[in-house]
Structure 1
Amino acid sequence: MGAATPSALEDQRIRAAVSERRQPLPGRQRKFKGGTTSFMLVMHVGAVFALLPRFWSWQAVVVLAVLYWTTVLGVTLGLHRMLTHRSFSAPLWLEHLLVLMGALACQSGPIEWVGLHRHHHKYSDQPNDHHDAARGLWWAHSDWMLHEIPALQHVGRLTGDLQRDPFYRWLDRWFLLLQLPLGVALYWYGELAGVHGGGLGLVLWAIPLRLVIVYHVTWLVNSATHFCGYRNFNSPDLSRNCWWVAILSFGEGWHNNHHAFPHSARHGLRWFEFDITWQHIKLLRKLGWAKRVREASYNPS
């Protein structure tokens, strides 16, 4: 992938080449997966119920904020930059903790998450990319996960480094169960403390509402940053830098930078590209908990 600043003509050429008309999906891929589709529907309905006035409380807002930080950082810092791209190394206890935080996002287990993301980088915006942006904004955003995707067949060969860890194998199978102790603890606290909306209100804000927000923020990196924004580099795909996605996703919105230098722990490369996850990595490095940090820089030519 080139590091040169793309010209408008070159950018247009890449978009035209990548966006060639796609063949219709085969019949088996057009069918909705019952389990995933039902789960997403239940979570979205739960998120709507959470916003009813009867379930609102300051405690619920605090719980949502803390768990949003925990979950998004687990995805960006743990699953993405550390585990998928090995852009830095951390002690095993910290690595496992960050991945556990990422698993709270209910975006599959860590092995499947990493395997699919590595597959995306290998075939970004090509016909065999499972969230190929050339199939449209809705497909790239979330529709792809509601259908059978051939990329799942390649997860095993792309995650040999993770298959050896029994903790990751366990999480890959049981990640959904992490919501149970979280829900029980919050329900108990809400009832005991007499929170407005009770324990149910805290659970609704902490689980379905949080998950739906985090889902759409994560999905925006797959969709919005392949459709709107600017490009610093000539990466051979549709990736773009989108500032508002970067704010919501703790720096993942500097997506063109990331596709140009996927192994860089730093995604915001220009002075105004603020990268919250990178700030956390710098803190971990100061504490001596982040080693072998790989960092790209912006040098236009």
Structure 2
Amino acid sequence: MTQSVQHPTQKPTLDWVAVFFFGAVHLLALGLAPFFFSWSAIAVCLFLHWLFGSIGICLGYHRLLSHRSLKVPKWLEYTLAFIGALALQGGPIFWVAGHRLHHAHTEDEVKDPYSAKRGFWWSHMLWIFYPDKQFFDADQYSRYAQDLAKQPFYRWLNRNFLLLQIPLAIALYLLGGWSWVVYGMLVRAVLLWHSTWFINSVTHVWGYRSHPSDDNSRNLWWAAILTYGEGWHNNHHAYPNVAKAGWRWWEVDVTWWAIWLLQRLGLATKVILPPAVVTE
């Protein structure tokens, strides 16, 4: 599935553009949120956190595009990828390529883009601030997601995901004013970033293991709640192509509920289910 990742020729340097961008969004969210609070804005923030996080990232980018755990019509696949791009976590080719490398070389300090063995904060967010060219240069990472890179729509979405935030902000302003913009854009982005990053960091440190996978992946209940099921990470690393992350009845997997609904509607087929073991 993947080609050999080359050892970096030099130590990655701090990307001040990334530091400024992420720092500015965090500061604006913290500084403006108290002054633009409204219950409708909170509702919009939570709704978009679910829509972009569970439907866009967890279902679209992760279980569908990265692992092909299910099959949906092309129009729906593109719609889910578009929603994922609105999450402001990179384009689909970038995201999928990095995630596939994470699974192919889990916790390898060179080949895994966000290896937990390099420390909690590295796997959580510092890997973005010290970008390795092999994981951030499109000409290099695209080879790990060639199935997407050969499609014009995904190439366009990969280039323009950041610009999509402009019409989103305009729509939120027209519908609810500045409070919806602050909570729907800034607060939502910060919360969703850290929710997603928790899977790279905390679920490789804390939690229980149901399967003897060749890494330190863990199942962590509170991370699963924040990420709509992705926190059952040991289950996922043991069987990455399975569409259902929560296997036991009490391992709540909200994203799976959406997949189940799509299956019942006839829109999801070839859904890969867990083996009969360890599902009680």
Cα deviation for residue 156 of structure 1 reads 2.0
Q: Indicate how the Cα distance of structure 1 residues 298 and 141 shifts in structure 2: closer, same or farther if over 3 A, else same.
A: farther
2: CA distance, partners of 1:27 / 1:115 = 20
Q: CA RMSD in A?
A: 1.6
Deviation string for 1:46-83 (max 9, x for gaps)? 2102321x201122112112211111121000000000
Kindly report which structure 2 residues correspond to 1:84-163, keeping only aligned pairs within 5 A, or say none: 84-128=66-110, 129-149=112-132, 150-152=134-136, 154-163=140-149
Match of 2:235 in 1: 257
The question of whether the paired residues in 2 share the 8 Å contact of 1:119 and 1:151 is answered with: no
Contact 1:255/1:267 (8 A) holds in 2: yes
- 1:241-267 deviations in Å (ceiling 9; x for gaps): 000000110000000000000000011
- State how far apart, in whole Å, the 2-side matches of 1:152 and 1:35 are: 14
Q: How much does 1:298 deviate? A: 5.6
1:48-59 paired onto structure 2 within 5 Å: 48-52=30-34, 54-59=35-40
In the alignment, which residue of structure 1 is the partner of 2:47? 66
> Which of 156, 162, 178 is equivalent to 1:176?
162
Q: Per-residue deviation at 1:27?
A: 9.4
Aligned equivalents of 1:161, 1:42: Cα separation in 2: 35
Runs of 4+ in 1 over 6 A off after TM superposition: none
What is the CA–CA distance in structure 2 between the aligned matches of 1:49 and 1:152, rounded to whole Å? 30
Matched, 1:76 2:58: yes
User: Can you give the 5+ residue segments of structure 1 that lack an aligned partner in the other structure?
Assistant: 1-24, 191-198
TM-score, normalising length: structure 1: 0.85
CA distance in 2, matches of 1:136, 1:83: 28
Identity of aligned residues (%): 44
- Give distance in 2, aligned partners of 1:47 and 1:285: 38
Partner of 1:4: none
Whole-angstrom CA distance in 2 between matches of 1:270 and 1:187 = 42
The amino acid across from 2:129 in the alignment is L
- Counterpart of 1:108 in 2: which secondary structure? coil
Structure with the larger RCO, 1 or 2 (CA within 8 Å, 6+ apart): 1
Aligned to 1:46: 28
- Summarize deviations over 1:62-116 as a string: whole Å, max 9, x none: 2112211111121000000000000001011111111111111111100010000
Name the SS for the 2:79 alignment partner. helix
